[in-house]
Amino acid sequence: MKPETINLLKWVVAAIGAVATFFVIDIGKLKLEKYKAKTQKEQSLLNSYLQATETPDPDLWLRKLRLIKIFSTDSHILEWASGEEKFIKEQSALIELYRETVKVTSILANRNTYNTPDWIEASKRYYQLYWADLPYYGESQPVISTMIEFKKKFDKIENDSDVEQWRAMNIALIKLAKTLKEETKKLENKHNKK
């Protein structure tokens, strides 16, 4: 072979090597850019959820978690979002039932509303809460105890003239409201520690 051909072959091999090197570098840069974009997307989704949790609206939290589940590709984040969604559904439902229980029992303990349509409706709802809704969502033991105590007082009400019975029911209402507030705080703190 002629020296000119050998030099030409050297240059061709060097050019092919350079092209291959640039190709490998470009693929590496492309993979790095894809990874950066993916992590920025995941971070943006998580930040959006964290900002939503600063509001007292569990429905907003759930919407943000659904977005994470739709757009995230990270299996660990998806698993966390599913667990968080389940926790919020159970917690927020119980918290809402606790709040409703306070409203319902407040109507029942008001002697001035005795036997009105509101009082009768609240009476029906109280028994639904007592026998079905609160046990279904796993009310705490302190709530069970104070609900039983309130029911005992409520069951003794037969008219609006027995002032002592109404006072006893008001005291039971105060204990129940205090217990529901404490248990609500425990649920909220449990969520905040996660």
Q: Using the 3D structure, point to which of 58, 87, 116 is the last residue of a domain.
A: 87
What pLDDT, in 10s, does the model give residues 94-125? Answer: 888 999 999 999 999 999 999 999 999 999 99
Nearest to 169 by CA among 178, 156, 158: 156
For residues 9-29, one letter each, b for 16 or more C-beta atoms within 10 angstroms of the residue's C-beta and e for the rest, the string is eeeeeeeeeeeeeeeeeeeee
Tell whether 111 and 62 lie within a shared domain. Answer: no
- What distance in Å separates the CA atoms of residue 167 and residue 156, rounded to the nearest whole number? 12
Two tokens, residue 140 = 């705490």
Question: Both 76 and 132 in a single domain?
Answer: no
Domain end (from 35, 63, 87):
87
**Are residues 48 and 29 part of one domain?**
yes
Give residue for tokens 């660990």: 76
Please tell me whether residues 178 and 116 are part of one structural domain.
yes
CB within 8 A of 110, min separation 6: which ones? 119
Please check whether residues 58 and 141 belong to one and the same domain: no
pLDDT digits (tens, 9 = 90+) for 57-78: 777 888 888 888 988 888 888 9
Q: Which of 26, 56, 87 is the C-terminal boundary of a domain?
A: 87
89 neighbors 62 (Cβ within 8 angstroms)? yes
The reply to whether 72 and 156 lie within a common domain is no
Q: How many domains does the chain have?
A: 2
Residues 94 and 24 in one domain: no
With 90 as the cut, is the pLDDT of residue 85 above it? Answer: no
Could you tell me which of 61, 62, 57, 132 has the C-alpha nearest to residue 101? Answer: 132
User: What pLDDT, on a 0 to 100 scale, did the predictor assign at position 56?
Assistant: 61
Question: Domain span at residue 131?
Answer: 89-193
Question: Angle, nearest 10°, between helix axes 141-155 and 75-108?
Answer: 20
Sequence-ordered alpha helix ranges (H) in the chain: 3-52, 58-71, 75-108, 117-128, 134-137, 141-155, 163-193
Are residues 67 and 129 part of one domain? no
In a shared domain, residues 188 and 94: yes
Residues 16 and 81 in one domain: yes
pLDDT at 151 over 90: yes
Same domain, 96 and 180: yes
CA gap 54, 64 in Å, rounded? 12
Average pLDDT over the chain reads: 87
- Specify whether 38 is located in the same domain as 131: no
> CA 139, CA 180: separation in Å to the nearest integer?
10
Report the pLDDT averaged over residues 1-7.
79
Return the CATH number at 173: 1.20.120
Q: How far apart are CA 138 and CA 146, in angstroms?
A: 15
